[in-house]
Amino acid sequence: MIFKDKVILVTGGTGSFGQKFAEIILREHSPAAVRIYSRGELLQLQMQQKFNNDERLRFLIGDVRDKDRLARAMNRVDIVVHAAALKQVPTSEYNPIEAVKTNINGAANVIDAAIDNNVAKIMNISTDKAVQPVNLYGGTKLVAEKLFIHGNAYVGMRKIDFSCVRYGNVVGSRGSVVPVFLEQKKKDKITITDERMTRFWLTLEQGVRFAIDCLKRMRGGEIFVPKIPSMKIAKLAEAIAPKAKREIIGIRPGEKLHEILISQEEAKHSREYADYYLVEPEHQFWAKKKIAGGKPLPDDFKYTSDNNTRWVTADDLKKMIKAL
């Protein structure tokens, strides 16, 4: 019952994650208020209407680049979920400084504002692209992860905890290839970058519920990684449009053939639990916070989308898409 009667702030709260998070938290956990912090007034209005003007839902126009506004928004907040980011890989490549300002400087501002306001729990939503990044977006998310983990060393004796959730592609979210394939299906032609390419997949609800569960169990300093299935992009295209013509267009700049959720180096300080992995920080502050249980990973372990033991079937995918 850690959410009951608590004030929760979600940065980037009008995005797909923020809206699903608000829906589940308001329906199942009885918070005092959920503050939606974002830049778009139209999206806030649409979200307000979607939630039938629920009086527990509060809307604040603001940018994570604005530290003063964040400080005001976090006044008397108990929990922060940091989901704001520039997420499109091509956009970040073309506008690198803007990606740094939002994804790195914005993360630092969230951390500072949370500490100054004595927020108890702060969770950063990260991505598989932060592991051994090959593009700027992934690089900025890697830095953001490091900032959040090290934030635990800045809180002193205060009871403030920073952690991260890291997962793969969300079916149907903005930037997902699924809506692209569904649109291309109408023209009976699917473009595939590489037949061998694999990705981790989960639904939006699975991602949000995992983050909620991690907020309950977090001690501060961990990176939580869910056990989720993989699927070949070619199989994804076949499941969505089996009769469509395929065109191979080649891997785009800044794109990996396979994604990584835990690197071999991280596995040395990670533990396995029933439905998730936990990457432990290599810092002294963690010694007093360890989560009980779990088992060490083998020395040669790495969690990549091509060496996964779980795979999405065509039927699984159709159920995921139907739930959108």
Catalytic residues: 129
Provide the pairing of β-strand 189-192 with 245-248: parallel
The structure tokens listed for 237 are 């295209």
Question: What are the beta bridge partners of residue 276?
Answer: 226
CB 62 within 8 A of CB 150: no
- In three-state form (DSSP H/G/I as H, E/B as E, the rest C), the secondary structure along the chain is CCCCCCEEEEECCCCHHHHHHHHHHHHHCCCCEEEEEECCHHHHHHHHHHCCCCCCEEEEECCCCCHHHHHHHCCCCCEEEECCCCCCHHHHHHCHHHHHHHHHHHHHHHHHHHHHCCCCEEEEEEEHHHCCCCCHHHHHHHHHHHHHHHHCCCCCCCCCEEEEEEECEECCCCCCHHHHHHHHHCCCEEEECCCCCEEEEECHHHHHHHHHHHHHHCCCCCEEEECCCEEEHHHHHHHHCCCCEEEECCCCCCCCCCCEEECHHHHCCEEECCCEEEECCCCHHHHHCCCCCCEECCCCCCEECCCCCCECCHHHHHHHHHCC
CB 106 within 8 A of CB 65: yes
Cα–Cα distance, 27 to 208 (Å, whole number):
14
